[in-house]
Chain A
């Protein structure tokens, strides 16, 4: 009987008539289950929709509106939102909408690049620590402790002044302070997984260590990694924007949302040009909010044990 392999909670309740007609219970794979869980989480779906909209508009927007984000038009300085400039213009007459679209590209790219770097780093170190154990494990975990105890924002700022702002320097400075959670999670998953029967069986069948890690251990610990990576994107985007806002990230005339907010500070406090602050900040806020919603939905779907619930 196929049903015996399915956990009782997952067996759909079928009416007697249906059973009599020969209907069979649906058996779903873990991924299908996760998928259903995620889409039942209303806020996560909302986040996903908003994020896709933002992503599409920064990807396609600049192709449709062919205005240079740095085009200076003195006759259009400091204009509030209008049909011609839906989000107003800044003190050099640059169109805010176009700058927001281009800035969004940079900001989102930084976020994505950061998780790629930090997940790679975290997963690699975490798997080495978890699989090898002993001295190596100890060493890597102390390294994690050291990085956790760094006052992160200060260190990023100092790194910025040392190596100078540029796309990859920003990405790397942010990422090297964000890999620790991932590597702790991977290590924890590995520690429990490597004692399981199927791993012992693989050993007995002569599978190589690399093979076991890549084929069995990593795929089975992917859930918490995805959750923490998602929440990390939000953190990375926030850090980049903070850096840019403090004038230490991307330099002018490069537009990023944080940088636009920095340039708008005086305009809003002294002249009350609310559109200068409202729109870039709103985009940033919506992006981070939707990523957090998605992360929460993914946690429900992929991490039922709640490994990622703390320190994120």
Chain B
């Protein structure tokens, strides 16, 4: 499917070099990249090589795709991993507080914030942060993962990286927190009105024990599914974040390759993303069955 581009993957070079590249040279290039073969043969070849770990070579850099992706993977993993962690730490307390104090002023404020969070475009949020914290105050660096002009080591290196990652992680995490908080609040509220919660109250348990042991534990089951399904969303979100903050991750690589029509690289990243979606769906199902004894995978 990827190869059906109008003008073929060499369109970019054809455009740039119009007049400079002869038809014979073009034919030679086509044969070199195997682009003169029919589509299905190209797909079968690609798939065979893919299984063997040869993901092809980039049209742009001429380097192996797998290597290019592996170089970029740590940054993306770090970014999504930290954002996920921050999201988990923030969304549970917020969701619990706003369900326990339903319709209070605090709940109203938190719910409104969550609405703002799911509506704010991440790139706008990112650019505003950049304006305030980089341009206005100069507190945080605007782009990159590390300061390349300084060769930091040890603690200084970590500190430098943390300063670079603070804004991207916050943007990614806060937007996700907003979405997850609403789920947590909703599923807590569903449980709060159950009979067994009333029984627990009647037994004279402390409010804290009721909320943490009876409500939260039961509310966790649907929440876990949602949390697992957020992973691919978070991964897709890095495309925008890495572009704004110029982080050398996979999302950034994807956009660059899309601009250059570098199909082997696009294919590689797409496969990883698709695998991630499938795996997290599977994980959600397995966790659901593990947490809820009523459900058996059959």
Contact = CB atoms under 8 A, between A and B. Distances in A.
B258 A157 contact: yes
A234 B136 CA distance: 31
Contact of A151 (B123, B124, B240, B276): B276
A151 B128 contact: no
Nearest to B112: A43
A234 B119 contact: yes
A284 interface: yes
Nearest to A291: B119
Contacts of B121: 238, 241-242, 245, 258, 281, 284-285, 288
A292 B2 contact: no
Given A162-B4, A269-B134, A272-B135, A154 B269 contact: yes
Contacts of A289: 115-116, 119-120
Contacts of A281: 121, 123-124, 127-128
A150 B277 contact: yes
B278 A149 contact: yes
A265 B127 contact: yes
* Chain A interface, DSSP helix/strand/loop, else mixed: helix
A296 to B, nearest CB: 8
A277 B124 contact: yes
Nearest to A157: B258
Nearest to A289: B119
B88 interface: no
Contacts of B254: 154, 157
A164 interface: yes
A100 interface: no
A161 interface: yes
A151 B232 contact: yes
A258 B2 CA distance: 26
B68 to A, nearest CB: 16
A265 B281 CA distance: 36
A153 B236 contact: yes
A115 to B, nearest CB: 17
Contacts of A282: 124
A146 to B, nearest CB: 10
B127 A264 contact: yes
Interface in A275-297: 277-278, 281-282, 284-285, 288-289, 292-293, 296
A278 B115 CA distance: 19
A183 B116 CA distance: 28
A309 interface: yes
A149 B236 contact: no
A247 interface: yes
Interface string B186-213: 1000000000000000000000000000
Nearest to B281: A149
Interface in B1-31: 1-2, 4-6
Interface string B229-266: 00010011001100110000000001100110100001
B142 interface: yes
A121 B271 CA distance: 27
The 10 closest A-B pairs by CB, nearest first: A281-B124, A151-B273, A289-B119, A288-B119, A272-B135, A153-B236, A277-B127, A245-B123, A149-B277, A161-B258
Given A151-B277, A264-B127, A277-B127, 9 more contacts: A150-B277, A151-B270, A153-B236, A154-B236, A158-B270, A162-B5, A246-B239, A281-B123, A292-B118
Interface of B: 1-2, 4-6, 115-116, 118-121, 123-124, 127-128, 130-131, 134-136, 142-143, 186, 232, 235-236, 239-240, 243-244, 254-255, 258-259, 261, 266, 269-270, 273-274, 276-278, 281
30 contacts: A149-B277, A149-B281, A151-B232, A151-B235, A151-B236, A151-B270, A151-B274, A151-B276, A151-B277, A153-B236, A154-B239, A154-B273, A157-B255, A157-B258, A162-B1, A162-B5, A162-B6, A164-B6, A234-B119, A241-B121, A245-B240, A246-B240, A246-B255, A248-B259, A272-B135, A274-B131, A285-B120, A285-B121, A292-B115, A292-B118
Interface of A: 43, 149-155, 157-158, 160-164, 234, 238, 241-242, 245-248, 258, 261, 264-265, 268-270, 272, 274, 277-278, 281-282, 284-285, 288-289, 292-293, 296, 309
